Each structure stands twice: as C-alpha cells, then as structure tokens.
Amino acid sequence: TVWVPSGPPRTDRLTLLHTPSNNSPKMSLEWLVAWGWSLDGLRDCIATGIQSVRDCDTTAVVTVACLLVLFVWYCYHVGREQPRPYVSVNSLMQAADANGLQNGYVYCQSPECVRCAHNEGLNQKLYHNLQEYAKRYSWSGMGRIHKGIREQGRYLNSRPSIQKPEVFFLPDLPTTPYFSRDAQKHDVELLERSFQTILCEFETLYKAFSNCSLPQGWKMNSTPSGEWFTYYLVNQGVCVPRNCRKCPRTYRLLGSLRTCIGNNVFGNACISVLSPGTVITEHYGPTNIRIRCHLGLKTPNGCELVVGGEPQCWAEGRCLLFDDSFLHTAFHEGSAEDGPRVVFMVDLWHPNVAAAERQALDFIFAPGR
C-alpha cells in the first residue's frame, strides 16, 4: 500500500501557519486544515501498519520478533533476581543464630519469631491481619479462622499431647495422623509419575557430598545422633533461586501441583536426607492446616516414620501423607552400606480447608507480613 498525500506538501502548509498576518480568522482556518491533514496522515499510517501485519510483510515480522526477544530477555532477568530479604511473621525453621534447644531443634529466641515466642502479641497481630483481609475482601467464610485466632491460646494449651501445633491451630478440621492417597489424589499421582525426574536431579546434587565440607545450598539440621540434611527449593513460602536453578524440572513440577502451599510461611518443598544412625527427636509441626507429603526416593531397610504413635515405612516412588502437627519422629537404623534415606518433601493444603480460607491464610501468614 502506497500513501500519496493530496494537496500541497506539508512544508507549504507549515509555512502558511507561520506566515505573519493580521487576519486571525484566516490563520485559524489554515491551522485547522493543517491539523486535519495531520490526522488524516496518522490514520493512513495506522491503516498501512495494520495492512502490513495482515500481509505479514518482512517489516512486521521483524518487529514482532524483536518484541518477543525483548520479552524473553525481561523474563530471564526477572527470574534471576534474588527474593527481597524479609523478617517473617512466622519464621518457622530459623536456627542459624540459635541460643536454645527444644524438641531436638535449635530455636532463635527472637521476638519476631512466633514459633519461638508464644505470647499475646502474636494473636493480636494475626487478628489485625485477619481484619485487614476482611476489609479488603470479605468476612464470608472466615468463621473458623476468626474463632481459631481469638481462642488460639486456649486451643494450643488444651490440646492433647499427641497433637499440638506450635503456631496456629484451625479448629474443626478432621484429625488423623496419616491421610490416604485420595486426600490429594491429583498431586500424589503427579509426584509419583515424576519419581525418576526428581531422583535424577537429587543424584546429581548428591555427588557434591564427595567433598568433606557441606555443599552449597544444603542445610544441616539439629539431631541427637547422626546427620540430617535438607535442600530447600521453597522455604517458608519463598523459593530459593540458586537451589531451584539446580533442580529446574523438580521446581517446575511444583507449579503443576494444585494444592501445594506456596504463598505463606507454612509452605516448604525440599529434599530430606537421613544418614544411617540418625534419629530425629519427637517434635510437633507449626500448624494443622497442611498435609506433609513425602515421596520416597531412596528407602533402605531400617527406616521408619512414627506419627502420633503409629509407625509407617517409606517406599520408593510412593507418597506418604501425614499431619505433622502430631507428635512425630523419624529414624534410620540401617547400616552404612545401606546408604541414606532420601525423600522429596512438599507441603499440601489440608483437604478440608476451604478455598476462601486458603486465600485468607495466605494473606495472614504471607512471608514478611
């Protein structure tokens, strides 16, 4: 399409506009004519561009390709950014600068850590977060959360010793130490189908243990005997970019899980390794709103998980679902020749937590809130 302007060239019209004259109405008329000419030209240019895109000419294709390259470059740089530092309202597993030991875990004793400092200030903060959420959205469906926050102290203190979540207890949830595979059937089947993928990425990571020092990205946890290592992809609702880049397929898998907790501090995903002779002291998890899922990667003989006094064994390529707000422990009594026990651990929503409650809990317990 070729556009040919009608009438005098644009320079002539601009000259007319700037020619001194005492005839103001004549100038205004000429200015309007020139303005109309400019609009006509703009309209014709737009039409030409649209027609070029329709005809798929070289210029349009190159333009679209450049835009796609810029978009990919932007996504790449955004993905490489480190998450912003934060002080979580619920720093669940912070143990680096610890001063005390309880239930086999080191606690930080920080007033910012609600797992270590149980006081009325926590309940007030949680209630404030709930009110802020309700103002923005709705109080509809918030009955159990409201009840749980207002009476949190009573619930936690009066719970039987077999189940005592350390941070938040949501009342009226069905209680059982273990859950059937059907509780979160879609995610369980997806994880089990991805068994070989996860195992392959773990074996690549584990080769770094040939050195004496703890490899980068791995964390050593406190145990009375043996060694317990974890490699977090998601820690307290925040991804660990450096670790995720080393396990790209496993990390992408998390995005395909329908019930994975990924937006609040109760959500974690990691590879957990127990060396032979390791015993994890009995302890409680922070909340009952989640189900902890273990996908067995390497499960030698002599390994057991005990939840609420009920023992279970892992199986390679199979998921084991349990409520970690129950008193639980794990141990590996095998020999050194058996090798480590390895599971892929991911936190899923309790099936009886409604969608509206999940959204509110993500808001109340958001990282950094």
- Residue 26 resides in a domain: no
Give me the CATH number covering residue 225.
2.60.120.330
Please write the tens of the pLDDT for every residue from 303-346. 999 999 999 999 999 999 999 999 999 999 998 899 999 999 99
Q: How many domains is the chain partitioned into structurally?
A: 1
Q: Range of 261's domain?
A: 181-353
Region 273-287 average pLDDT? 94
Q: What pLDDT does 340 receive?
A: 95
Residue 26 to residues 17, 21, 37, 181, 198: CA-CA distances in angstroms? Answer: 10, 9, 17, 85, 79
pTM: 0.69
CA–CA separation, 280 vs 330, rounded Å? 5
Region 210-214 average pLDDT? 72
Find the helix packing angle between 143-150 and 120-136, rounded to 10°.
160
- Residue 310 resides in a domain: yes
Please write the tens of the pLDDT for every residue from 44-92. 767 776 676 566 667 767 777 888 888 887 777 655 544 333 333 333 3
Query: Where residue 13 falls among pLDDT bands split at 50, 70, 90?
Result: very low
- Give me 88's structure tokens: 């979580």
Find the helix packing angle between 355-364 and 143-150, rounded to 10°.
40
Please write the tens of the pLDDT for every residue from 123-159. 788 899 999 999 999 999 999 999 999 887 777 777 7
Which residues share a beta bridge with 102? 105
Q: What share of the chain is helix, strand, coil (3-state, %, to 5)?
A: 40, 20, 40
For 52, phi then psi, to 5°, come to -65, -40
Within 10 angstroms of residue 22's Cβ, the number of other Cβ atoms is 6
Contact status, residue 331 vs residue 244, Cβ threshold 8 Å: no
- Residue 234 resides in a domain: yes
- Residue 270 resides in a domain: yes
